[in-house]
Amino acid sequence: MRLTEREKMLEGLLYDANYDEALIAERAVAKDLCFDFNQTRPSDVAGQTKIMQDLLGKTGDNFTVVAPFWCDYGSNIEIGDNFFANHNCVILDGAKVTFGDNVFIAPDCGFYTAGHPLDAERRNQGLEYAKPITVGDNVWIGGGVKVMPSVTIGDNAVIGGGSVVTKDIPANVIAVGNPCRILREITPEDGLREG
């Protein structure tokens, strides 16, 4: 049995991202919903919430996404309760992108499941792959952070602004940099400090 390009995408295999008509159509629907969301008045919270519920694969009971927001498919994105994403969040969701509860995302952040072959011949054929991203509960992601394919960020982690996260980050740590590295564990004394 031959896999569809969508099935290959969700399996993490090389797939035709540029020329497969079914995937192009799916992305067009998602981009139209993103456009509608981004053009909805900020005071129309109910309207924005409804568009997000139609766009995303799963939402928690309470969430806020501040426009503009862009994604590829939407159906591969799951957000937990009390999710907050500030302006200019981009999620390339060829693979599953899962956010736990109480996740706070600062402006200008990107979550990129997509990757491309290193050799130009296959890359120029429109082939790519997608690997999932998982963000645990109670995670704070600072401004301008970019999260790459196959990354898991553990519960209670804090990712410093401007970081490029290329490898897993464990729970209960502060991590920062390009590439993102663990700075230190979060301690009880941190409860007495501001960010």
For the stretch 8-64, pLDDT in tens is 999 999 999 999 999 999 999 999 999 999 999 999 999 999 999 999 999 998 999
Which CATH code for domain 5-192? 2.160.10.10
Report the predicted TM-score, pTM, of the whole model to 2 decimal places.
0.94
Residue 112 has pLDDT above 80, yes or no: yes
Task: Give catalytic residues, as residue numbers.
Answer: 116
Q: Is 27 left (phi over 0), alpha (psi -120 to 50) or beta?
A: alpha
Report pLDDT digits (tens) over 139-180. Answer: 999 999 999 999 999 999 999 999 999 999 999 999 999 999
Query: Strands of 69-71's sheet, edge to edge?
Result: 69-71, 89-92, 110-112, 146-147, 164-165
Residue 193 has pLDDT above 90, yes or no: no
